[in-house]
Structure 1
Amino acid sequence: MAAMTSSARPLLNRRLAEFGTTIFAEMSALATATGSINLGQGFPDQDGPAEIREAAVRALREGHGNQYPPGPGVPELRTAIAAHQERRYGLAFDPDREVLVTAGATEAIAAALLALVEPGDEVVALEPYYDSYAACVAMAGGTRVPVTLRPDTEAGGFRLDLDELRAAVTDRTRLLLINTPHNPTGTVLTREELTAIAELAVERDLLVITDEVYEHLTFGDAAHIPLATLPGMRERTVTIGSAGKTFSFTGWKVGWVTASPELVTAVRSAKQFLTYVSAGPFQYAVAEALALPDTYFDAFRADMSLKRDLLADGLAAAGFEVFRPAGTYFVTTDIRPLGESDGFAFCRALPERAGVVAIPNAVFYDHRDAGAPFVRFAFCKQVPVLEEAVARLKKLTA
């Protein structure tokens, strides 16, 4: 039977025409093909707490979640999420009306954008951004408006230009899409920056989606401040969290939304036609994980801080300019001191040159030239793996 095709119209929805195979799939395949150390995709190479893994096993054996869980998420997890938000940040949420469990943060982002954005709406997002942001805005029919975080050599990181953010908002702007701690740059927005964002949102009557999946990964003096804690933001903010990054079980795909009843209802209306429900037994395990004592979170942060320094110091010794992150588990580097300027070409050649895989930051930009010389490395790996990667990268200056 001949394939059904039309010469007049491509098969792929035109809203997705600019999106092909993700860079993560390409670079992970390259890592496998070359036997390289994969510091590209951001997933840990060891499991999280054994007692949480065993909690998932126990749930499976006891028949908790083996059938469809409730659409909003199992009550135990919704209660644990609400308790976590109140204990950590003083944010009180009704677990029955203001918490929604999703198939990871990626589904939460998709459901929120599909629910809240209509064709013609503008979405202002901090650039560079997690790649699903652009695809989800496109699927919703919105127009993305990037505001670029720019390197600050003196501060050793990336900074948000608040004047540029204000100028990006027009009468067509529906919402702001904020990510802090920020992937890929490692920026953690300050209270001053968040206050300015909040004031802008209130002044222009904007909704805000805030991706806070790295909330427990801040280093040094940096501190995560949820946008919803600021004046006027509780009722207009959709806050997204995730178990994957905090507990190192990224394959479980357990995320969540906390927001006002009206916003949660809107997001749930879209989410129910995506996965409907997911990760039943894992939801029970994540409920136990969120109740772990502060010592777990402190140790997790300390461990990642040591790994950050190990990789950042090694990258600097290999000739990169390093922007030491204040949060997340990624290091952004500038390859120009190595005599390079094209991050795509550099990353595609790096496995053969040094046996290491990284990600070109340009893939996270609309303004590709602004991201061209930057390359991201993940440090959520075991110490011996990072030590070997650092040793291999020395070949670049040998």
Structure 2
Amino acid sequence: MITLSNRSSTFTDSVIRRMSRVCAQYGALNLAQGFPDYNPPRPMLDRLAQVAHEGPHQYATTWGAQNFREALCEKVKHFSGLEYDPNSEVAVTCGGTEAMMAAVLATVNPGDKVAIFSPFYENYGADAILSGAEPIFVPLKPPTFAFDEEELRAAFRAGAKALILCNPSNPSGKVFTREELLKIAAIVKEFDAFVITDEVYEHIIYAPAVHTHFAALPGMREHTIICNSLSKTYSITGWRLGYVMGPAEPLDRVRKVHDFLTVGAAAPLQEAAVVGLRFGDDYYEQLQAEYTHRRNLFLSGLDSLGLRYFKPEGTYFVLVDISRFGYDDDYQFCLDLAEKVKLGAVPGSSFFREPENRYIRLHFAKGDDRVLEDAINRLSKVSILQK
């Protein structure tokens, strides 16, 4: 019998996206897979309608249309103060997922090691394995999801070439403080390593938390490869527009990897998205206000039911403690939740390297308050799952 890839046998399919299929199977309200359920901003849709008739409809430049890259660099400079050359330090990708995969493939060799904070977005471990690298997991410890400096330093001492840093962090909603990031920066400088950042939730932040761009810290621009996407900021997860930014040398490698992975992101969608990249500050202020309202509404509902959770400082996710229900298997809890309570969630064990079954992840990216109220109403029946 023909032997198949060893790498592809060492991880499962996406548990998050599997839970969306479970929701469909049971007719459950999907609070598992984190995508907004409302339309993108009207100016982007109007521009997309024009592009449908006018084009472009053929390949853009492999690493992104010129006007898209320029608008992207202008936006990044406005919010971070960082200047990137649109002609040598940017690659536009098919979503943040490809951005991360291309960045890891361009950075590490087979046999290298990559540090990953745990809990972590499930793709990171698979990205490292598919690159032939060995992940080293560094725990973020509840309730604040703080890291131990010596444990992080030990990961680099053990040979980690890069750290994957998700900030704001999925699934915990943690926003790393500037002080924490400076500690990471000092260790990265000590070991002359890379940090590959995932900043897709940079504009979904709750006061008093503040997002700090890691690459903007003193001396970190040359050590940082930024991965990001437009998906969450503009509610266009299906457009699959992501990007990588960084110093010219690693970005040259990222561009080559990207070229042979997907050739290029969709040209018509890049053209339409330029409008969004040039929105003023009022758009991002309104976005933050809307998500703050949704978070407060949803967390108030959890409070009313006596459910314990970690209050997110960013993202639109919340980890809820299910230990009181007596389950040894959080995945089975999520299956029962979908079937009997008609609500979809992601088992927390899929995010932790450590043995952990006390949490589920829910999201509140719903544009209609009534949907979140419906979710809380359904959760009010969760006691039927009590063991």
TM-score (norm 2): 0.96
Is this contact kept in 2: 1:127–1:147, CA < 8 A? yes
1:132 equivalent in structure 2: 123
Return the letter of the residue paired with 2:11. F
Matched, 1:36 2:28: yes
Structure 1 residue aligned with 2:138: 147
Contact 1:320-1:337 at 8 Å conserved across structures: no
TM-aligned CA deviation for residue 315 of structure 1: 2.2
Q: Is the 8 A contact 2:348 2:360 kept in 1?
A: yes
- Structure 1 residue 301: Cα displacement: 1.0
Which range moves more in the overlay, 161-170 or 125-134?
161-170
Q: What is the Cα deviation at residue 171 of structure 1? A: 5.0
Give the distance between the partners of 2:101 and 2:267, measured in 1 at CA: 20
Contact 2:43 2:275 in 1 (8 A): no
Asked if 1:392 corresponds to 2:383, the answer is no
Give distance in 2, aligned partners of 1:342 and 1:309. Answer: 29
Residue 40 of structure 1, CA deviation: 0.1
Residue pair 1:237, 1:259 contacting (<8 A) in 2 also: yes
The residue correspondences of 1:83-122 to structure 2 (distance < 5 A) are: 83-122=74-113
SS of 1:47's equivalent in the other structure is coil
The answer as to whether partners of 1:162 and 1:193 remain within 8 angstroms in 2 is no
Count, aligned residues:
383
1:26 deviates by: 2.2
* 1:192 maps to which of 179, 183, 197: 179
Partner of residue 163, structure 2: 176
| Residue in 2 that maps onto 1:298 | 285
Match of residue 288, structure 1, among 259, 275, 295: 275
Cα distance between partner residues in 1 of 2:23 and 2:279: 35
Which runs of no fewer than 5 residues in structure 2 stay unpaired? none
Give the letter for the 1:256 counterpart.
Y
Letter in 1 for 2:45: R
Q: CA RMSD in A?
A: 1.4
1:318 deviates by 2.6
1:159 Cα offset (Å) = 2.1
Alignment equivalent of 1:57, drawn from 35, 49, 57: 49
Distance, in Å, in 2 between the alignment partners of 1:55 and 1:144 is 42
Contact 1:120/1:172 (8 A) holds in 2? no
Among 339, 343, 362, the alignment partner of 1:356 is 343
Whole-angstrom CA distance in 2 between matches of 1:308 and 1:162: 31
Of the candidates 292, 296, 301, which is equivalent to residue 314 of structure 1? 301
CA separation in 2, counterparts of 1:187 and 1:384? 27
SS class of match (2:262): coil
CA contact under 8 A between 2:40 and 2:236: conserved in structure 1? yes
Between the aligned partners of 2:224 and 2:48, the Cα distance in structure 1 is 31
The CA distance in 2 between the partners of 1:224 and 1:46, in whole Å, is 25
Q: Which residue of 27, 38, 45 maps to 2:37?
A: 45
- 1:256-276 Cα distance to aligned partner (Å, 9 max, x none): 111111121011121111001
CA deviation profile, 1:91-126 (whole Å, cap 9, x unmatched): 111111111111111001000111111111110011
Distance, in Å, in 2 between the alignment partners of 1:199 and 1:293 is 34
Secondary structure of 1:123's counterpart equals strand
Partner of 1:337: 324
Partner SS for 2:381: helix
Assess if the C-alpha contact under 8 Å between 2:88 and 2:251 holds in 1: yes
State the alpha-carbon separation in 2 of the partners of residues 293 and 255 from structure 1: 20
TM-score, normalisation: structure 1: 0.93
Q: Is the 8 A contact 1:319 1:338 kept in 2?
A: no
Indicate conservation of the 8 Å contact 1:335/1:341, yes or no: no
Deviations 1:209-251 (A, max 9, x none): 0110100011011111010001111111001111101000100
* SS in structure 2 of the partner of residue 262 of structure 1: helix
CA distance in 2, matches of 1:329, 1:390: 16
**Please, which runs of 5 or more residues in structure 1 have no aligned partner?**
none
- CA distance 1:171–1:375, shift in 2 (3 Å): closer
Q: Distance in 2 between matches of 1:313 and 1:129?
A: 26
**1:320–1:336 Cα contact (<8 Å) kept:** no
Which shifted more, 138-147 or 50-59? 50-59
Deviation of 1:28 after TM superposition, in Å, equals 1.1
Give the conservation status (yes or no) of the 8 Å contact 2:32–2:346.
yes
Give the deviation of 1:344 after TM superposition: 1.1
Say if 2:228 and 2:244, in contact at 8 Å, map to a contact too: yes
Aligned-pair CA distance for 1:341: 4.7
